[in-house]
Amino acid sequence: GTVVDENGDTLPGVAVLVKGTTKGGTTDFDGKFKVTLADGEDVLVVSYIGYKSQEIVVGTSTNIDVAMEVDAEQLEEVVVIGYGSVKKEDATGSVQAITASDFNQGAITSPQDLLNGKVAGVQMTSSGGAPGAGSTIRIRGGSSLSASNDPLIVIDGVPIDNEGVSGMQNPLNTVNPNDIETFTVLKDASATAIYGSRASNGVILITTKKGSSGKLKIDYAGNVSVATVPKTVDVLNTNQFKDMVNKRYPGQTNVTDLIGTNDTDWQNEVLGSAVSTDHNVSVSGSVKDVLPFRASVGYTYNDGILNTSHLDRTTASLGLTPKLLDDHLSINVNAKFMNVKNQFADNGAIGSALGYDPTQQPKDPADVYKRFDGYHTWIDQGTNNPITIASANPVALLEQKDNSATVNRFIGNAQFDYKFHFLPELKANLNLGYDYSNSDGRTLVPPTAAFAFATQGDYSPYKQTKKNELLDFTLQYTKDLTSIDSRIDIMGGYSWQHFWREEYSYSNNFANDQDPPRQPERTFRTESYIVSFFGRLNYTFKDRYLFTATVRNDGTSRFSPDTRWGLFPALAFAWNMKKEGFLANSDVVSGLKLRLGYGITGQQNINNGDYPYLPTYTSSQNTADYEFYLPDGTPYYSTTLRPSGYDANIKWEETTTYNIGVDYGFLNDKITGTVDFYQRYTKDLLNVIPVPAGSNLTNQLLTNVGDLENKGVEFSINYKAISTSDLHWDLGFNVTYNENKITKLTQVNDPGYKGVFTGGIAGGTGNTIQIHSEGYPASSFFVYEQVYDANGNPLEGVYVDQNQDGLINDDDKVRKEDPAPNVYMGITSKMTYKNWDFSFAGRWNFGNYVYNNVASNNGYLNGIYTSTGGGYLSNRHADILTTGFNDAQYFSDYYVQNASFFRLDNIMLGYNFTNLKNGALNLRVYGTVNNVFVVTPYKGLDPEISGGIDNDVYPRPRTFLVGVNVGF
């Protein structure tokens, strides 16, 4: 016989079995099948994923044609939520899922790039362009100042800790982007409260691809890319530099004699195009139809545009999803393994390249440089050794410093879902998870490196082992109560999680023979536990009134027995208005749902170790001992024991969220989208504040003192602009407005308290440029207001005397702008025409400001020559031609610059070859450009700076990529 789909096209891979047996097979590429029947075997079961299963009575026919019907229920979108899933139309919280088909494509080693710009309310800022760089992810603005603002990330049901893994810049890199099926972002408290104390900053649930029954399927994806340097910092060129030195130090031969004869573009010497490639193979299918599986391996070779930076990554994953006991027991086993070898380049080379004298050359044949392997360096005329405070030769920094790390990580879990035989409405679920990582890295610098001359080179190994063990157990009862037109779904559970880590560090000279070493061997160990009880009730009335109540009681080992338990409740109500009589038959409105949510979540990841409430004593390393003397003058060294400050009453931060949202669809879902309004109030905000002097064993303590609020609106719209048989065009757009304000910051009301200084900058020691203060957004810039001359050029050292007391001091600093955008938007477009497809994705940020530390720290004339050690020269930022500043003006608001931008992140053109080998082979070829262009008024290299201080940021490359996907 032949099996066809709802359009009458033949359907390969359909399972055709004799009822009650495992006898049978699957349809071939033409949808044909052949079964030989024994006596009494006269019913065939025909099944295929996404279609309704059918039983066909054979009778005497020898040729049977089967037309499959789409299974509407199976197709219905299901979204995963914590400890379960709901039909999308029944979701009551602010939840958004992005599936593989919507992901950004190309040149991607970091999973978060897949959804950058796709989800309203989610902002991602990569930490730079280094291979495998991490990102800062913020969901609806941060709810903390000093505690973590990272969302909780749950991979296949295992919450991972995002405190990072040594030797790896991005904890998410554990998952190969090709293995990811869905990202689900839980935004409001009614959705996240089930994760209680870790949910204040939203939750991202990642599910990986699974095997399915049916024919064996092999997929290969591969690509090759070239990353290019999009832009370099404008510094003085060689002639401008020489002129500047000669003009400033006329006749001073001790200065002008330092000028060399070369013409070196140092940025060019350290940055360059880089080629990378990525390959993945996956196999999925089912062993004897009882053990569906998916296995994959991937390999990434990624060179960075900063010379010597490199990443090699190998990943492997295995997923098994068998069903046993008459489908009463579903087992879901996932194992992911990753090995990454990182070669880190010293980012300091970027800063050194700006400041290094362009009249010198990277390698200088003069004899005096021979002992530094020929690298030019500034020599102290007294000691004949390198001048310790002069900047290092950037090329030497890259080529003589070997900083590499190998990380192995395994994340695995086994989930057992059992539907009770005697009570099928009741299900028990046991999830056991294990996340293990092991890092081994080291820095190695030879003693011939001028920048490490004083320390006779460097040998600094480090190791880290992390373990995260999880046990979750839930019971779920679901029942349709038709008599009262209701449905209830009750879930209760217990969760236990243990985090453990051990770190080792050491540091010595290159030969490792200095005694005692620069830093003695040091092992650090710590652990924490979270134990939780939680429950959720979903009640549906008349299929359109949906109530959800959630509660989680979390206990953490990080707080004292008096404060460690926190209760986090949430309530949500949704009204599916489309199902009401007045809309049910509307042709215009195809979907309309109102959602109201309220909930409290907590934060226990307070960045202050695992024992902030306990009095502890810490021993000194043997480089921090105290020296006493015996009567004959012989020294002896005593280990010291330091009592640490602590806050016995430290407890959770609590964030209360209110959310009102509408999900809408018009014109048969040609237009769909959501609107959400939210307010989030964080109380007991943890803040490092000065403790009253004398009252504790430290001067600053992390304690619960402040309040903070975030308010915002999110809007998203998806528009199926064209939908014909040949041409499809989908457009997506989302916009978020978020306002962040600190409302309280101290225990004592003190009008004179300016706030918490934060945001350390390069230049001087201990200089900060930002402040957390009441009534202002977190990390606002705290600066002097620059006065300009008639031509609009800044006047050196002339600032607005805000309090008119004739002095310019801290009291004249103003809070001005902040690094977070007020409005951010994402746009995506996807067009397909016959076999071609074309898509692009871009983002706007508005109202984000950046402190241009690159310009402020290199843009003053005095720094061109420093007399120490007989003198050395430094190049200057071209900004000096505008400002003419003689001395550094670190605190001028001139350097706080508008960094709003539009970035076209990605464009892609692809072609799908169909009907190759009679449909047995799918082939897709595509090309993408990443980081296509940026439009911005910002004067620095790249306006997108996490934290808002632009200094030594690894430039984001522009990447051109061609790739191929093959399916068998």
Nearest to 53 by CA among 2, 20, 16: 16
Cβ 344 to another protein, closest distance in Å?
20
Token digits of residue 652: 């959770």
- 529 vs 729 by CB, closer to another protein: 529
Cβ 639 to another protein, closest distance in Å?
5
Cβ 531 to another protein, closest distance in Å?
6
Per DSSP, 957 falls in state: P
- 210 vs 754 by CB, closer to another protein: 754
Q: Spell out where 756-900 has E strands.
A: 756-760, 768-772, 780-783, 786-788, 794-799, 814-816, 823-833, 836-846, 849-852, 865-866, 872-873, 896-898
Q: Phi/psi class of residue 327: alpha, beta or left (left: φ > 0; alpha: ψ in -120 to 50)?
A: left
| Dihedral (CA of 672, 205, 335, 924) sign | positive
Compute the C-alpha angle 459/508/354, nearest 5°: 60
According to CB under 8 A, which residues from 597 to 636 bind another protein? 610-611, 614-633, 635
- Please report whether residue 228 would count as binding another protein according to CB under 8 A: no
According to CB under 8 A, which residues from 384 to 423 bind another protein? 384-389
- Please report whether residue 810 would count as binding another protein according to CB under 8 A: yes
Compute the distance between CA of residue 15 and CA of residue 326 in angstroms, rounded to an integer: 18
Compute the distance between CA of residue 328 and CA of residue 496 in angstroms, rounded to an integer: 25
Exposure class string for 768-783: b at 16+ Cβ within 10 A, else e = ebbbbbbebbbbbbbb
Q: Dump the DSSP string for 132-154.
A: T--EEEEESS-S-SSS--PPEEE
- 659 vs 703 by CB, closer to another protein: 703
Map 334-381 to HEC letters.
EEEEEEEEEEECCCHHHHHHHHECCCCCCECCCHHHHHHCCECCCECC
Compute the C-alpha angle 42/47/52, nearest 5°: 110
- 415 vs 704 by CB, closer to another protein: 704
Cβ 375 to another protein, closest distance in Å?
18
The DSSP element (H or E) to which 688 belongs, if any, is strand 671-690
According to CB under 8 A, which residues from 561 to 580 bind another protein? 561, 564
Considering only 249, 372, 646, 824, the residue that binds another protein (CB under 8 A) is: 646
Map 571-613 to HEC letters.
EEEEEEHHHCHHHHCCCCEEEEEEEEEEEEEEECCCCCCCCCC
Nearest to 12 by CA among 29, 24, 25: 29
Considering only 21, 99, 512, 699, the residue that binds another protein (CB under 8 A) is: 699
Token digits of residue 825: 């938007």
Exposure class string for 415-431: b at 16+ Cβ within 10 A, else e = bbbbbeeeeeeebebeb
Per DSSP, 357 falls in state: -
| Residue that the structure tokens 């939680």 belong to | 534
- Please report whether residue 802 would count as binding another protein according to CB under 8 A: no
Per DSSP, 306 falls in state: B
Cβ 927 to another protein, closest distance in Å?
48
Cβ 412 to another protein, closest distance in Å?
21
According to CB under 8 A, which residues from 833 to 892 bind another protein? 862, 866-870, 887-888, 890
Compute the distance between CA of residue 167 and CA of residue 463 in angstroms, rounded to an integer: 9
According to CB under 8 A, which residues from 903 to 942 bind another protein? none
Cβ 601 to another protein, closest distance in Å?
20
Cβ 847 to another protein, closest distance in Å?
28
Scanning 122-130, 309-317, 803-811, 835-843 for contacts with another protein by CB under 8 A, the matching segment is: 803-811
- Please report whether residue 648 would count as binding another protein according to CB under 8 A: yes
- Per DSSP, helices labelled H in 674-746 are none
- Please report whether residue 529 would count as binding another protein according to CB under 8 A: yes
- Please report whether residue 380 would count as binding another protein according to CB under 8 A: yes
Cβ 453 to another protein, closest distance in Å?
8
Cβ 139 to another protein, closest distance in Å?
28
- Please report whether residue 690 would count as binding another protein according to CB under 8 A: yes
Cβ 534 to another protein, closest distance in Å?
14
In angstroms, how far is CA 36 from the centroid of its own chain? 55
- Please report whether residue 775 would count as binding another protein according to CB under 8 A: no
952 within 8 A of 350, measured Cβ to Cβ: yes
Build a one-symbol-per-residue string for 150-189: x at contacts with another protein by CB under 8 A, - elsewhere.
----------------------------------------
Cβ 740 to another protein, closest distance in Å?
22
Give the list of residues 6+ apart from residue 634 with CB closer than 8 angstroms, or none. Answer: none
- Please report whether residue 310 would count as binding another protein according to CB under 8 A: no
The half-sphere exposure of 782 on its side-chain side, counting CA atoms within 13 A, is: 24
- Please report whether residue 522 would count as binding another protein according to CB under 8 A: yes
End-to-end Cα spacing for the chain: 23
- Please report whether residue 348 would count as binding another protein according to CB under 8 A: no
- 9 vs 632 by CB, closer to another protein: 632
Nearest to 119 by CA among 732, 820, 899, 938: 732
- 269 vs 458 by CB, closer to another protein: 458
Considering only 14, 229, 577, 688, the residue that binds another protein (CB under 8 A) is: 688
- 659 vs 773 by CB, closer to another protein: 773
In angstroms, how far is CA 496 from the centroid of its own chain? 25
- 416 vs 529 by CB, closer to another protein: 529
- 626 vs 833 by CB, closer to another protein: 626
- Per DSSP, helices labelled H in 718-844 are none
Cβ 31 to another protein, closest distance in Å?
54
Token digits of residue 860: 């003053």
- 510 vs 681 by CB, closer to another protein: 510
Task: Count Cβ atoms within 10 A of the Cβ of residue 353 and give its class: 0-12 exposed, 13-18 middle, 19 or more buried.
Answer: buried
- Please report whether residue 496 would count as binding another protein according to CB under 8 A: yes
Scanning 90-98, 453-461, 594-602, 898-906 for contacts with another protein by CB under 8 A, the matching segment is: 453-461
**What does the longest C-alpha to C-alpha distance in the chain come to?**
113
Scanning 69-77, 275-283, 405-413, 682-690 for contacts with another protein by CB under 8 A, the matching segment is: 682-690
- 59 vs 766 by CB, closer to another protein: 766
- 379 vs 934 by CB, closer to another protein: 379
Q: Dump the DSSP string for 250-286.
A: TT-HHHHTT--S----HHHHHB--EEEEEEEEEEEEE
Considering only 20, 59, 694, 806, the residue that binds another protein (CB under 8 A) is: 694
Considering only 89, 113, 188, 647, the residue that binds another protein (CB under 8 A) is: 647
- Please report whether residue 434 would count as binding another protein according to CB under 8 A: no
The half-sphere exposure of 130 on its side-chain side, counting CA atoms within 13 A, is: 23
Scanning 419-427, 433-441, 655-663, 807-815 for contacts with another protein by CB under 8 A, the matching segment is: 807-815
Cβ 415 to another protein, closest distance in Å?
20
- Please report whether residue 257 would count as binding another protein according to CB under 8 A: no
- Please report whether residue 590 would count as binding another protein according to CB under 8 A: no
**Residues touching another protein, count (CB under 8 A):** 111
Compute the distance between CA of residue 700 and CA of residue 702 in angstroms, rounded to an integer: 7
Considering only 58, 224, 583, 691, the residue that binds another protein (CB under 8 A) is: 691
Cβ 599 to another protein, closest distance in Å?
24
Compute the distance between CA of residue 615 and CA of residue 642 in angstroms, rounded to an integer: 11
Considering only 31, 134, 142, 555, the residue that binds another protein (CB under 8 A) is: 555
Build a one-symbol-per-residue string for 722-761: x at contacts with another protein by CB under 8 A, - elsewhere.
------------------------xxx-x-xxx--x----
